[in-house]
Each structure stands twice: as C-alpha cells, then as structure tokens.
RNA sequence: GGGGCGUUAGCUCAGUUGGUUAGAGCGCUUGCUCGACACGCAAGAGGUCGCAGGUUCGACUCCUGCACGCCCCACCA
C-alpha cells in the first residue's frame, strides 16, 4: 500500500493520471463492445477559442455524464472536435494581416485561405488540449473538425439535397448587412441595442404644389429618404384619408411617388404618416412588396451613399443623415427633431450597426424543417431540461424567418453552385462544373450550416458506419441555453430531415457562469476568472466540483474563487480520511458487509447513512441535479463519515474489539464514496482508490469500476435513531464544556438520566471517547445537588459535578472582565450611532456594520450576565 | 411590446407533496499541537424568509396584486 503525503497536492497527481488513462485506452470506445450505447458529442469549440469558465462547466458536465455512464456499464463515447468558426476565424487572421498593413485582398482568396489553415494548424485546438487538464475523458481517436474532408462532403450533400427539394433558394431579399465585415448576416447574428437617436419630422411637398404644402413624416434615419418610394398612412386615418393617391415630390432627387394606405401604419406614432424605404427597412420592405413599390438600394458595401443619392453621393450613412437634416432645414422642410431612444441592430461580430439591405443571397426555407422539430419537442421525442426552456424554444421555431446562409467571406464551405457568366443561369451540383462560362459562387456558408450537422457527421454520415449505427442518435446534448436558437434548434431540424431521427434524446441546458455576485464576466469589468488559473491553484477536481456545486439546473452559475478554495479543502479532507483508513486497514479490502452480529452500532449507522446518501446522489445524477449530488457527498464525507464514524471507529481500531469489522466497514464506505464521487472529482478519487484497492492502474482503474448498486438491507432506521441519541449527548457535552471554559483535555464524569438509558449504558465507552469523558454513569433520575450543573438532552438530562472542574473565582473574574470590555464596546458603538451626522453621511454598509456590532455586543452582554449570575449562585454570593 | 427567472443569515445559495426551535459553504467571534487532516477540531453570534392582501387550525412553502433585479425574444417609422 502506498504511503500518501500529508496534504493532497493535485499537481503531483493529475497530469500523470490523465496520461495513464489515455495510454490504457480508457477514453476510447469500440462500437462492438457490450453495454447500452451512450454518446455525447462535444459542442465544438471555435478553433479561435481558449478555455473559459463557460467551457469548463459545459465540459465538466459532459464528463460527469460520460464517466458515470461508463461505470454504469454503458458503451459510452464522447466525441471531441472543433468548429472552423467562419467569421470569427477569418477576423482573427485578417487582424494579423492588418498588423502587417495588409488586407486579405492583398493575398488573394487562395493564399488567404491557405494562411487561415496554417494558423488553424499551429494554434487551433489549444482549447482541446486545455480540456485535458480538466480531466475530460474524450475519445481522442475520433476527433472531428467541421471543415475537414468528411464533413465537407456531408455539407455539400446536404446543400444539394435541400436545393433539389426546394428548401434552399437564391433570391433578392432584405438582409442584415455588416458594413465592416462586408457580409450578410442571419437574424440571430444581430443584437438589438438601445441607442439615443433623433426623430426628425419633415415635409414632403406635393408634386403639384409648392414647398409650403405637403405631408409631414417622421424618421430616425433621415438618410434613407434618398431611397423613399412612397408615403404610407393608415386607411382609417381621417386626417390623411383624402390624401391617399396624391403624389409627392422628392426635394433633392428627380423623383415623385405616391401616398398609399396600409394597415401597418400606427396613426398614433410620429405624424401618422410614414416614409417608405423598401430597400432599407424590414417593415418598409413588406409594404413595398404589398404595393409593388420600386426598391432603391442607396448604399454600397461600406454603407456609403451611391450615385442614386445625387448630391449626397459619397457620404457615409451618418454624415448623410446630418447633411440631409441640414438640407431639409435650408429648404424649409424641416419641421422639428426630438430626442428618441430606439433599438438598433448591431452585428454580433463587428459590433457595427447593421444596415438592412436588399441583396441577392442564398436562403433556407425553414418552414417544413421547423414543423418536424416542433412536433419532436411536443411529442417528447426530445426532452428539454429544464422543461421551462421548451416554451422559448418552441416560440422561436414557430416564428422563424427564412435563414440567410450565404456569407461574403472566404473562410468556410464554398457554396456548391455555379453561375453562367453570360446567361446568369445557376446550377447546384455536388461535383465541380468544369465547363466554359461557369464559375463557382464566391460565397461561403454560414458557419452554423455545417455545425448543425455535427451530431451525425462526426460518426461518418452519410456513410452507414458502425459508429453511426451504434451511437446515433446521441444521448444528451449539453449546452448553455444561449445557443438553443443558433445551434440546437438547427441540429434538431436538420437531423430530423436527414436522418429521420432526433439527433439527441435530451437537451440539457445549464446556466451561464457569472461572477460571485451574479454579474456577467467580462474583460471590461475585470471580473473574468480563468479556469486554468483555478486548476493551477486548486486542482482540476476542485474546479470541477465547485462549478457543479452551484450549477443548479438552468439557472446561472455564480463562481467565486473562495468556493474553489473551499472545495480544495474538501479534496484534502477526503485525502486525509483515506490516509487514516489506509494506515489502519492492515490490508483489509472492500468486500462483503460483515455479518450483522459482528457490526457495532456505528457500523450499522454509517452503512445506513451511506445507503441513504447513495440513493440520493444517484437520483441527483439522474436528474442532472449536480448540486444535490455534490452536496450529498460533501456532507456525507465530511460531517458524517469523517467527523463521526472515523472518530467512533478509533475506539475499536486502537483497542481490540471487533476491529476487523471496523476495518471492513471503513474500506467498504470509502470504496463506495470514491466511486460515487469519481465522475465529479476524477483525479483524487482515482489516486485514493488505487491506494485503497491496490489497483495497478492502466485498465485496472476506478474509471471503469462498477457503479455502486446499493444495499437496501443496510438501511437501518433503529441504528440511525440510536446513533442520533449518542450524537446529541456528545454535542451537548461539548457545548457545556465550551461554555464553561473547561479545557478540552480535562476529563470528567457524566451522570445521565435518559429514556435511552440502556443504549447509553451499552455505549459508555464510545460516548466517553467521543466526548472526552472519564466515565458515564446511567441513573434512573437525576438528583439536584449543590455544585452540579445540568445539561438538557433530547432524550433526558445529564449532570456534571463541577467540584474541582471549574475554578469558580477565576472564571468569575474572567467573565467579569469580558463583560466590562463588552460593555465598553457597546458604549462606543452606541455613541457612534447616536451621532446623526455619522448615520446620515457614512455609507449605508458602514452604518449597517455598526448596527451589527451593536447587536452583537448586546447579545454578548446578556449571555455573560446570565453565566455570571449562575456562577455567583454556585459561589454563594448571588441570590438563588 | 411579448416571455422567462429571481427576491431566505454580511456574501453566494439549499429548503422535498404547507406541519414543532428555517439549513449549508464562505466570512465573523471564542477555545483547542486529542496518534488522518490547522486545507483541521469544538463551540458560538447572525434571518419579522422583498412588500401588501387572501386561502388554511397552521405558509418560506399555495393564490392575487405590487415593488425591485436579471435574462431572452421582438421589423413600430
């Protein structure tokens, strides 16, 4: 048996164990192995990524699920991999080029993409290596990449089939344009932020009148008036009904357009008349379609006004906004402008304000896909945990717009479509078209188009591989709720469409990791915690366990460094409990529970508690309730096993009464605890388990040991009740000792009158040891005597003879001194709080602290006075 | 504008189908080199469970309203 160091040192244990597991092949799964299939695919981190606490939580949870599944006997696999992360990655490399004063256009497309690949090879995937330090038991032989060969083939196949089915189409639609990255974006890549703007009221003159007459409109985006092609009013609006059909004249451009009526217009807002810019506003676009209005794109890719803007051509959109306002004013058309807060869409990548723009793009028609996904959720084919997230998920699926999938980028899956240069004809094909006049579409696909295929392409789809048959559909998808829309819903839709199966049976949503006060972690707040720093400082087990302890299902996870520190102490506690056991086991192995007659009360008690906790912890794991599982084990190990059982068992181990049974029970409990704890704290449990069982390592590992089955017969309510009586007796005695300043080393006799007299009588030795008594005498009734003190018990009373135990005079003197100082404290604080300028001007928390001090001092005084009175009675100086 | 979540000890959170003195960790106070552990042991202080009503013999727990906070979604110029 190995000698364990006095304190647990994670750094000395973790890296070697990971390497040992890996070389023994314990992470690798074989589809031909026995056991029910259990599979998880990692949400592929971006190649640009490095491990942050969100990843740490997400992957710890997956590792917990996989490790437990293995121990339960499933044929479990966890697939690693990465996402090529189109925009994000392209931006990183473009930034590197910018540092050299270059753009991607200087390199050209081919060279640029090569450059991204080079970068991917050298620095991509750091995050997967970081996951190893966290202990993640991923099957490294199955690593996949969304942009590698097999995945490319699958993406092309999916695109072509969807196109053939009429579910992918190309067309001019209003899309979100990112004027910085020069690409279209999907709706969910746009974040709405509140912005302070201006609502500008101005007048469009009638075509047949002068500038003093006309129709007043209001807008937050004056520059878009260059693309106006109508003015809309509500059909029932009495103020304007008679104007419908009239024509207005553009003040700066040689153009006239009509006043139209449309229900969309809210008569209450602004002037009740809306300028319509179909090419630059989603609502106006719809109105434009309904009324067959011309759609005039007034901006170029940089959101700069083009020649259609007449004298405003060449101005950026914000400069144009100011210039037009001024021009309106000069023309006498500006009525007024007022401050106006409103929501403006921003690119989630470049943060630039998105420009709604009419553009030729590729779209996925999502209706038919969404229908099946909705049905799968409603029918329970896929279960969302927590259930309440299902509503938002369904709402989103039920209100989908078609998905713009083309991106004007270079890094990503090239769209398998070819355009004829002369005819403009389009052909979509899995094979390159190598004929004269045909050129491939320059655009690439939205990065989520490929990642939506992840759960089946990692197993080799469209090939009918053994892996695919064995592990698809996957068991559980673990993600934060923040990407349910981006990713999860799309996997569900496309999975159902192409594999006729849900891609996962359960969607488990954890919360987002926040700082200790529940605030979002962000670099600008300076509250970011790096999980790798935590691992360095406290170990991977502590980091994992701390995250799990606060990861209540679906709610955000507050993380403070102190908690991780506290968890490290728990690991150390476990370590030392094992150290005690190991140094006393004398070769005893875990095995069958000894015959009942050989067991002492504390044995039956701890076995009963173990069984209770095992079942609670198991239920916690089953319900994805990590805090319950973690707390259950923490409490059991520390407060029951270490604090009570280990102390109790010393009587027999250091003596010679049924010590064999004691050793056996010690080994059994530890063995089960280590197994139950292993998915959450894999390293320390493995190290200790090897020491306990003598396991050689390699394939002889806790990682693949059997999950505890439980022994229902071990539940022993009588033992628990009886032991609680002893615990109460010991606790009350300790309390008495502490309150009377009796040194812990001072032993004394206890006389007990209890309705559990026989029990206490039989357990005298145990009680004496735990409460550090010289003896326990059980009597029928306590007789009040001078010089004794009584302790109240849940089951009766105990009596202590104070003669010689306490130096009454000295104790009185000590207490009186304490009382004096407590009174002085109180006076000081009370004086401070009586000072009105302090109470009014000092910060609230400082005042609150003073109030606390005041309350504390008062409580202390009351208690001291009581004890002094009691001692005075004993001394004969008080009044009884 | 729609929807969701939360409000319990100084801080972060538990609290099972409503049932005697509402729990944990951290922090705080006091004492302790007891043959696993000072990353420890023992004891202690600290809460009118956001506010106002209601149901009930009884509510932190159920209902209604309000307040505050957080989050998601959303095409009102």
Q: On the CB side of A47, how many CA atoms lie within 13 Å of its CA?
A: 29
In which residue are the tokens 């390699």 written? A698
Between the alpha carbon of residue A604 and those of residues A593, A665, A717, A747, the distances in Å are 10, 9, 9, 28
Closest nucleotide (C1' vs CA) to A538 is B39
Q: List pLDDT tens digits, range A334-372.
A: 888 888 888 888 888 888 889 999 889 999 999 999 999
For the CA of A827 and the C1' of B46, the distance in angstroms is 20
Closest nucleotide (C1' vs CA) to A860 is B45
Q: Give residue A838's pLDDT.
A: 61
Helices (H), A410-560: 447-451, 454-457, 466-471, 489-499, 531-538, 540-550
Single pTM value for the model: 0.90
Q: Are strands A438-440 and A406-407 parallel, antiparallel or unpaired?
A: unpaired
Q: Give residue A146's pLDDT.
A: 94
Whether any strand B atom is under 7 angstroms from the Cβ of A455: the reply reads: no
Q: In whole angstroms, what is the distance from residue A504 CA to residue A520 CA?
A: 29
Nucleotides in chain B with any atom closer than 7 Å to protein CB: 3-6, 10-14, 24-27, 30-47, 70-77
In which residue are the tokens 């009158």 written? A753
Q: In whole angstroms, what is the distance from residue A752 CA to residue A730 CA?
A: 12
Contact between A680 and A626 under an 8 Å Cβ cutoff? The reply is yes
Positions 293-332 of A with beta carbon below 7 A from strand B are none
Q: In whole angstroms, what is the distance from residue A95 CA to residue A497 CA?
A: 38
Between the alpha carbon of residue A831 and those of residues A303, A445, A823, the distances in Å are 67, 72, 12
Q: Using alpha carbons, select from A231, A342, A327, A341 the residue that is nearest to residue A278.
A: A231
In which residue are the tokens 């698809």 written? A472
Q: Give residue A840's pLDDT.
A: 58
What does DSSP assign to residue A355?
E
Whether any strand B atom is under 7 angstroms from the Cβ of A743: the reply reads: yes
The residue ranges of chain A whose pLDDT is under 70 are: 1-2, 211, 524, 553-554, 829, 832-859, 863, 866, 877-880
Q: Give residue A880's pLDDT.
A: 44
Q: Which two tokens stand for residue A801?
A: 């003879």
Positions 844-863 of A with beta carbon below 7 A from strand B are 848, 852, 855-856, 859, 863
Q: Using alpha carbons, select from A301, A355, A316 the residue that is nearest to residue A190.
A: A355
ipTM for the complex shown: 0.93
Whether any strand B atom is under 7 angstroms from the Cβ of A271: the reply reads: yes
Q: Give residue A836's pLDDT.
A: 63
Q: In whole angstroms, what is the distance from residue A334 CA to residue A325 CA?
A: 7
Q: Using alpha carbons, select from A41, A76, A26 the residue that is nearest to residue A460.
A: A41
Closest residue to B36 (CA to C1') is A580
Positions 381-420 of A with beta carbon below 7 A from strand B are 388, 391-392, 395-396, 399, 401
Q: Give residue A877's pLDDT.
A: 62
Closest nucleotide (C1' vs CA) to A266 is B76
Contact between A406 and A445 under an 8 Å Cβ cutoff? The reply is yes
Q: In whole angstroms, what is the distance from residue A812 CA to residue A816 CA?
A: 6
Closest nucleotide (C1' vs CA) to A194 is B74
Q: Give residue A834's pLDDT.
A: 66
For the CA of A388 and the C1' of B54, the distance in angstroms is 28
Q: In whole angstroms, what is the distance from residue A439 CA to residue A110 CA?
A: 15
Q: Which two tokens stand for residue A577?
A: 């409990």
Helix axis angle for A717-739 and A764-771, nearest 10°, is 40
Contact between A209 and A243 under an 8 Å Cβ cutoff? The reply is no
Whether any strand B atom is under 7 angstroms from the Cβ of A429: the reply reads: no
Whether any strand B atom is under 7 angstroms from the Cβ of A647: the reply reads: yes
User: CA A220, A184, A93: angle at the middle one, nearest 5?
Assistant: 115
Positions 58-117 of A with beta carbon below 7 A from strand B are none
Whether any strand B atom is under 7 angstroms from the Cβ of A678: the reply reads: no
Q: In whole angstroms, what is the distance from residue A755 CA to residue A798 CA?
A: 12
Q: Give residue A849's pLDDT.
A: 60
For the CA of A856 and the C1' of B9, the distance in angstroms is 14
Closest nucleotide (C1' vs CA) to A274 is B77
For the CA of A70 and the C1' of B64, the distance in angstroms is 50
**What burial letters (b/e) apply to A542-560, b meaning 16+ CB within 10 Å?**
bbbbbbbbbbebbebbbbe
Closest residue to B6 (CA to C1') is A555
Say if residue A386 is preceded by a cis peptide, omega within 30 of 0.
Answer: yes
Whether any strand B atom is under 7 angstroms from the Cβ of A499: the reply reads: no
Whether any strand B atom is under 7 angstroms from the Cβ of A342: the reply reads: yes
Phi-psi region of A471 (alpha: psi -120 to 50; beta: other; left: phi over 0): alpha
Q: Give residue A833's pLDDT.
A: 65
Positions 566-605 of A with beta carbon below 7 A from strand B are 566, 568-569, 571-573, 576-577, 579-580, 583-584
In which residue are the tokens 């023309």 written? A331
Whether any strand B atom is under 7 angstroms from the Cβ of A218: the reply reads: yes
Q: In whole angstroms, what is the distance from residue A106 CA to residue A111 CA?
A: 9
Terminal C-alpha separation, chain A: 63
């Amino acid at each position: 048996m190995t000698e364990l160091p006095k304190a647990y040192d994670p750094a000395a244990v973790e890296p070697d164990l990971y390497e040992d597991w890996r070389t023994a092949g314990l992470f690798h799964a074989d589809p031909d192995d026995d056991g029910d299939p259990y599979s998880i695919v990692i949400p592929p981190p971006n190649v640009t990524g490095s491990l942050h606490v969100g990843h740490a939580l997400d992957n710890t949870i997956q590792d917990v699920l996989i490790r437990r599944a293995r121990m339960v006997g499933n044929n479990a696999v966890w697939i690693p991999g990465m996402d090529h992360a189109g925009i994000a990655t392209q931006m990183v490399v473009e930034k590197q080029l910018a540092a050299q004063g270059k753009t991607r256009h200087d390199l050209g497309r081919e060279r640029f993409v090569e450059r991204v690949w080079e970068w991917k090879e050298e620095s991509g995937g750091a995050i997967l290596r970081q996951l190893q330090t966290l202990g993640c038991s991923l099957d490294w032989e199955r690593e996949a990449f969304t942009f590698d060969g097999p995945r490319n083939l699958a993406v092309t196949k999916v695109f072509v089939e969807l196109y053939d089915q009429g579910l992918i189409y190309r067309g001019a639609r209003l899309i979100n344009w990112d004027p910085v990255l020069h690409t279209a974006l999907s709706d969910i890549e746009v974040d709405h932020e509140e912005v302070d703007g201006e609502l500008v009221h101005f007048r469009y003159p009638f075509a047949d009148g002068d500038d003093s007459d006309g129709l007043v409109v209001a807008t937050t985006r004056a520059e878009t008036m260059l693309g106006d092609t109508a003015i809309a009013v509500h059909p029932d609006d009495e103020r304007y009904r008679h104007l419908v059909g009239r024509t207005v004249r553009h003040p700066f451009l040689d153009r006239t357009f009509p006043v139209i009526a449309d229900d969309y217009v809210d008569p209450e807002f602004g002037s009740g008349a809306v300028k319509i810019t179909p090419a630059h506003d989603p609502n106006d676009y719809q109105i434009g379609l309904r009324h067959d209005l011309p759609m005039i794109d007034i901006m170029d890719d940089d959101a700069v006004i083009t020649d259609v803007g007449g004298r405003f051509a060449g101005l950026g959109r914000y400069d144009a906004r100011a210039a037009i306002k001024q021009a309106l004013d000069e023309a006498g058309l500006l009525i007024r402008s007022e401050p106006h807060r409103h929501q403006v869409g921003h690119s989630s990548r470049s943060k630039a304000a998105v420009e709604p723009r009419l553009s030729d793009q590729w779209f996925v028609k999502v209706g038919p896909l969404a229908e099946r996904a909705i049905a799968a959720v409603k029918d329970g084919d896929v279960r969302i945990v927590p259930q309440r997230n299902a509503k938002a998920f369904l709402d989103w699926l039920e209100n989908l717009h078609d998905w713009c999938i083309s991106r004007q980028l270079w890094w990503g899956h090239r769209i398998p479509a070819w355009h004829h240069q002369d005819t403009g004809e389009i052909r979509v094909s899995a094979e390159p078209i190598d004929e004269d006049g045909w050129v491939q579409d320059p655009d690439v696909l939205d990065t989520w188009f490929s990642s939506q295929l992840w759960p089946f392409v990692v197993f080799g789809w469209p090939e009918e591989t053994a892996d695919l048959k064995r592990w698809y559909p996957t068991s559980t998808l673990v993600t934060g709720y923040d990407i349910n829309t981006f990713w999860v819903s799309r996997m569900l839709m496309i999975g159902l469409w192409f594999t006729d199966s849900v891609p996962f049976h359960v969607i488990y949503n954890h919360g987002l990791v926040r700082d200790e006060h529940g605030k979002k972690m962000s670099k600008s707040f300076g509250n970011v915690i790096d999980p790798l720093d935590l691992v360095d400082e406290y170990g991977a087990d502590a980091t994992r366990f701390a995250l799990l302890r606060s990861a209540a299902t679906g709610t955000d996870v507050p993380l403070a460094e102190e908690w991780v520190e506290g968890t490290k102490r728990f690991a150390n506690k476990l370590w030392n409990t094992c150290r005690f056991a190991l140094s006393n086991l004398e070769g005893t192995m875990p095995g069958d529970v000894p015959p009942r007659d050989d067991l002492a009360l504390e044995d039956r008690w701890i076995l009963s508690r173990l069984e209770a906790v095992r079942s609670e912890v198991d239920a916690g794991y089953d319900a994805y309730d990590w805090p319950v599982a973690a707390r259950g084990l923490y409490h059991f190990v520390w407060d029951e096993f270490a604090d009570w059982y280990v102390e109790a068992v010393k009587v027999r181990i250091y003596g010679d009464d049924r010590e064999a049974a004691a050793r056996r029970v010690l080994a059994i409990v530890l063995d089960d605890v280590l197994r139950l704890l292993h998915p959450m704290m894999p390293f320390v449990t493995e190290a200790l388990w090897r020491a306990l069982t003598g396991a050689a390592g390699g394939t002889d590992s806790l990682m693949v040991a059997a999950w505890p089955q439980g022994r229902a017969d071990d539940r022993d309510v009588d033992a628990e009740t009886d032991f609680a009586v002893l615990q109460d007796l010991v606790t009350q005695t300790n309390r008495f000792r502490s309150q009377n300043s009796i040194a812990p080393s001072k032993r004394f006799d206890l006389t007990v009158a209890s309705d559990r007299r026989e029990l206490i009588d039989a357990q005298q030795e145990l009680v004496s040891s735990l409460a550090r008594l010289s003896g326990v005498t059980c009597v029928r009734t306590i007789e009040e005597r001078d010089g004794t003190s009584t302790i109240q018990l849940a089951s009766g009373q105990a009596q202590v003879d104070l003669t010689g135990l306490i130096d009454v005079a000295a104790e009185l003197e000590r207490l009186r001194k304490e009382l004096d100082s407590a009174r002085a404290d109180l006076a000081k604080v009370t004086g401070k709080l009586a000072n009105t300028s302090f109470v009014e001007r000092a910060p609230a928390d400082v005042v609150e602290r003073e109030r606390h001090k005041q309350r504390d001092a008062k409580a202390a005084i009351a208690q001291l006075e009581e004890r002094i009175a009691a001692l005075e009675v004993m001394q004969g100086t008080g009044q009884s």
